[in-house]
Amino acid sequence: MLETLKDRRIIITGGASGMGEGLVRAFPGLGAEVVSLDISERQGREIAEESKAQFVQCDVADQQSVEKAVAQAVDTLGGLDVLIHAAGIAPGGAAEEIPLETWNRVMNINATGTFLTNQAAFRYLKDDGGQIINFASAAGVQGLKNKAAYSASKGAVIAWTRTAAQEWAKYGVTVNAIAPAIWTPMYDKTRASMTAEQLAAHDAYMATAVPLGGKLGDVERDFVPVMAFLSNEGARFMTGQVFPIDGGTLMMR
């Protein structure tokens, strides 16, 4: 994949951890100019510096913060070709026990954050076209037990993505989403919190739930190449889609 993103100007939110971090670390090596946005300044800046990217602090749930950060990122990049909106949270809990505070926080970061970052990026993409890639989830398609707020927020992301794709197509702006199932440090923490019995049951479930390999995918091997393609001009004729990167778990139709 040498230079597959040569000269592409890309903003990546959520760049201080997880899949966002994986993209910030990988994309400069593929030729892209990258600005990472995240609320966690110290970690985000360190990752960006290590990866030869730039960093701007941003709270994706705050309109003023988003507009300022995106403007600064675009100025740094000298324009914009791609927004990848990876920032999000996924607290759990039984549906009947979710506090309103938690519901609002999840919706503000995951759903409103998508709305705000997409709108801000669109202002810089509408003249020359470009690509927006949002992070959805299988949870937003088929639900996920003990993740009702998260599932609802990702359902909103999917509906927003498909609608914005229709409205912004006339400007040459594509809007797609991915539904990833990728192994991250957060997943390591989840596994570490399980008892031996719970972990054995979980791994047995994953062995059947993920047809390709029986476990979550690898960031560098399974995730980055797909995101590089979706961030390239070769993906310009696809919009309003949800692309699972999950080993065949979701099998979208």
Is residue 248 in some structural domain? no
More confident residue, 196 or 2: 196
Average pLDDT score, the chain? 96
Residue 249 has pLDDT above 90, yes or no: yes
Q: pLDDT band for position 227 (50/70/90)?
A: very high
Active site (annotated) includes residue 150: yes
What's the pTM?
A: 0.95
Share of residues in the chain with pLDDT > 90 (%): 92
Statement to judge: residues 203 and 167 lie in one domain: no
Count: domains in the chain: 2
Share of residues in the chain with pLDDT > 70 (%): 99
Statement to judge: residues 87 and 33 lie in one domain: yes
pLDDT for 142: 95
pLDDT digits (tens, 9 = 90+) for 167-211: 999 999 999 999 999 999 888 888 898 899 999 999 999 999 999
pLDDT digits (tens, 9 = 90+) for 103-128: 999 999 999 999 999 999 999 999 99
Distances (CA, A) of 187 to 86, 141, 175, 181, 193: 16, 21, 27, 10, 10
Q: What is the CA radius of gyration of the chain?
A: 17
Q: Catalytic residue among 124, 150, 187, 205, which?
A: 150
Expressed as residue numbers, the domain containing 91 is 9-182+222-242
Statement to judge: residues 31 and 149 lie in one domain: yes
Distances (CA, A) of 130 to 91, 147, 225, 231: 32, 33, 19, 9
Statement to judge: residues 117 and 229 lie in one domain: yes
CATH number at residue 116: 3.40.50.720
